[in-house]
Amino acid sequence: MPDYEIILQEIMLTDKHNKNCVDCDSCNVEYASCNIGVFLCARCASVHRKMGTHISKVISLNQVWNQSQVERMREVGNKKAKLKYEYRVPPCYRRPNSSDPQVLIEQWIRAKYERGEFTQTGRPNYISGHLEGFLMKRGKEDARYQPRKFILSEATDTLRYFVKESKEPKAIIRISDLNAVLAPKKMEHENSMQLTFMKDGSSRHIYLYHDEGEVIVNWYMAIRCAKLHRLQVAYPMQSECNLTDCLSNDFAKEGWILKTGPRPSDGYKMRWFSLDDVQRKLMYQVEPLGAFPKGEIFLGYKLDGFSIRVGAPIGAKDQGFSFTLTTPERVYNMSVSNNVERDDWIDCIQKVFEKPLTPQDSSLSARLIRKRTTSTSLFLGK
C-alpha cells in the first residue's frame, strides 16, 4: 500500500513552486485544493472553502489522502495552475501577498477560480477605461455615509462624483493625481477604500465603501488601470514594470502619536499620523478619518537638514518613548506608547531621509501649503 503522505511531501519538495501558497505566496502551506491541484495557506484555504466544493475541494495536508487526490496534485501543481488561472492578469492588477487586506486576497482568489477573469476569454470591466456606479461616501462634516454616484473616465483623466445625478458633479478629481488605498483596518469596514489627492495646496482624503468586496476592488483596479494607461502615453520609453510601481502606494505606517506645538510651553496632543513614503509626506490629523490633514510635514533628504532621533528635544518634556523629528523649518517633539512603536516610526522616516530628492519631490514640497486664512506656514501647524 503506497504511503500517499510521503508521495505528497515529495511533490512539494521536488517542485519549488509548490512550497508556497499559490494565491498569496505565503510559505506556511497547510492545505491543498485537491480538484484544482494547488497548495494553499490556511488563510487562502478559508476563501476556497467559501466558494464551495463545486469550485474548490480543500483538504488538509495532514488528512488521509487517496491515490486520485495525490495524482491530481502531481499532475497539476502550482506552476501549471498559474499558467491557466493567471493567463491574462492585467498589468495594472495588484497581485496580493500574505500581508495584504482580506478583501484583496479574497477577490483575487474569486477572480481566478470563480469568475475566470484571467483566462483566455476573460475581460474584466475595470480595464475598459470607464466605470460608473454608486459607492457609500463619508461626509466631510457629519461623518455619515451616503450613496454617491461615481464616474471614472480614463479618456478625460477624471473621477467625478455626484450628490444628485441631475446636478453638476460635486467634485472632479484628476486620476493622474489620485492615490487609492484599501483601508479596512482604519475604516473598520472590510470593503473600504481611501482616496487621496491634492486640493488647494493640501491633501484631501475621501473615504468609501461598498457592501460587495468585488465592487470596491474593481474600483481600486480601475483607478490603477487608468493611471497605467495614462503613464504609458506620457512615458512610452519606460518599462511596464517601472510604471506599475507608480499606480498606488499604501501608507508606510499609520498610528496615534503624541506631539507638541511649536512653542516649548505647548502641551502634548494626540494626533493620527500617516506616512506616505512615496510622496515624502508625514500627515497628521485629529482623527483617522479626517477629510483634510491638520498639518503635513515634507520629508526631505538627510543632507538638507532633515533628521530623526530617539529622545525629546533639549528643554522639552519627555513623555517616556519620545523621538525628535528635525526639519529646516521646525523641530517636532513626538511620543508613542512603547519603544517598539517608536523605533518603527524612526526606521520608516529615516528610510525616506536616505533617498535623494527627485524633481517631482521638490515640486511637491513647494505645493504643500496650509489651507488656512492665516499666512502661517503649513510646517508650523499644531
Domains of the chain as residue ranges with CATH: 4-88 (1.10.220.150), 125-244 (2.30.29.30), 253-380 (2.30.29.30)
Nine cell digits for residue 380: 508650523
What are the φ/ψ torsions at residue 308 (nearest 5 degrees)?
Answer: -150, 140
CA distances for 208 relative to 89, 154, 202, angstroms = 25, 20, 20
Contacts of 281 (CB under 8 A, 6+ apart): 203, 275, 296, 297, 298, 299, 364, 368
pLDDT digits (tens, 9 = 90+) for 208-237: 999 999 999 999 999 999 999 999 999 999
Q: Are 186 and 254 in contact (CB under 8 A)?
A: yes
Read off the pLDDT of residues 45-93 as tens digits, 9 standing for 90 and up: 999 999 999 999 999 999 888 989 999 999 999 999 999 999 999 999 9
Beta-bridged to residue 38, according to DSSP, are: 33
Among 125-129, 188-192, 261-265, the minimum mean pLDDT is found in 261-265
Query: Which range in 14-18, 91-95, 201-205 is most confidently predicted, on average pLDDT?
Result: 91-95
Ranges 120-124, 132-136, 236-240: which has the least confidence: 120-124
pLDDT of the residue at 264 = 67
Look at residue 177 in the predicted model and tell me its pLDDT.
92
Confidence of residue 2 (pLDDT cuts 50, 70, 90): low
pLDDT band at 367 (very low <50, low <70, confident <90, very high): low
pTM: 0.90
Least confident of 5-9, 46-50, 141-145, 343-347: 5-9
Give the pLDDT score at 122.
67
Q: pLDDT tens-digit profile of 149-192?
A: 999 999 999 999 999 887 899 999 999 999 999 999 999 899 99
Sheet containing strand 253-259, edge to edge, reads: 295-298, 281-285, 269-276, 253-259, 331-335, 322-326, 307-310
Mean pLDDT in residue range 25-40: 96
- Torsion over CA: 333, 336, 340, 346 (sign): negative
